[in-house]
Amino acid sequence: MLRMLFNVAIDLAVGVVPLFGDVADAFWKSNTKNFALLEQHAYELRPATAGDWLFVSAILLAILAVALVPLAVMYWIGSALFSR
């Protein structure tokens, strides 16, 4: 998973640079590399560890936070506008 994240980080960092990022995108295919990594490890059977559950929990909390932040901002703006 860290290698997959590293692939995407390289793609993002290089892709930000104008013109050079477009040329690099033609050669650095992070999604293709990540798919190959998934296929390579897809058939390994192993039980879930505590770290796996921690990772999934952290992702779920991050999704929840991303969903709740706009609602909190809308509530804050609404209460500021209508309290006057």
What does the domain layout of the chain look like in residue ranges? 1-45, 48-84
| Residue numbers of the chain with a pLDDT score lower than 70 | 84
Helices (H) and strands (E) in the chain, counts: 4, 0
Asked whether the whole model's pTM tops 0.85, one would answer: no
Q: What is the pLDDT of residue 13?
A: 87
Instruction: In whole angstroms, give the CA distance from residue 60 to residue 58.
Output: 5
Q: What is the pLDDT of residue 36?
A: 93
Q: What is the pLDDT of residue 32?
A: 92
Cα 74 to Cα 14, 47, 67, 77: the distances in Å are 35, 42, 12, 5
Look up residue 32 and give its two tokens. Answer: 């293709």
Q: What is the pLDDT of residue 50?
A: 95
Q: What is the pLDDT of residue 76?
A: 92
Q: What is the pLDDT of residue 84?
A: 66
Q: What is the pLDDT of residue 75?
A: 92
